[in-house]
Amino acid sequence: MHEKFMARAIAIAAESIDQPGTLPYGAVVVMDGKIVGEGLNRAEAKCDPTSHGEVDAIRDACAKLSVTSLKGADLYTSGKPCAMCVATMYQAGIARLFYAADAADSGVFFGRLIAHDPKWARAMNNQELRKQVGLPITERSMASEQMMAADIVAVFEAFIERHT
């Protein structure tokens, strides 16, 4: 059964061969033995850096089921997910991950793709992204500064008052 779902994720990835603005990263969300969501990396086509196959499969499943929790679901994807996709999986409650290509396979793919056309280069590769996301906020390469905390805490309090 696992092979059937992975084969579908890879078939979705293969759609990118003939679809401009897509990359060969496809994914499916499975609940109770049925595919409930599908996604393909359409980041270039949508001008949306978050439109990865895994994130779009989760969005599709949540929309179809009218939920924000996919607790207990499995996700099958054509490539080892980036940190953003993994975080989304945790937020959605994905229980198990199955992937085809590992990070080294994707690294070779992107290296060859970028050598042919530099437009595919990203601001940060997945290995560096994983490292940066795991660091405390004060140690990341992206500058950050907290401000107006009291103002948002007041909004939080007003929300709780209204909704509880």
Query: Which residues belong to the active site?
Result: 54
Strand positions, DSSP E, 42-130: 74-79, 96-101
- Using alpha carbons only, how large is the chain's radius of gyration in Å? 18
User: Which residue in 37, 81, 35 sits closest to 58, CA to CA?
Assistant: 37
Q: How far is CA 38 from the centre of its chain?
A: 12
CB count within 10 Å of CB 6 equals 17
Other beta carbons within 10 angstroms of residue 39's beta carbon come to 26
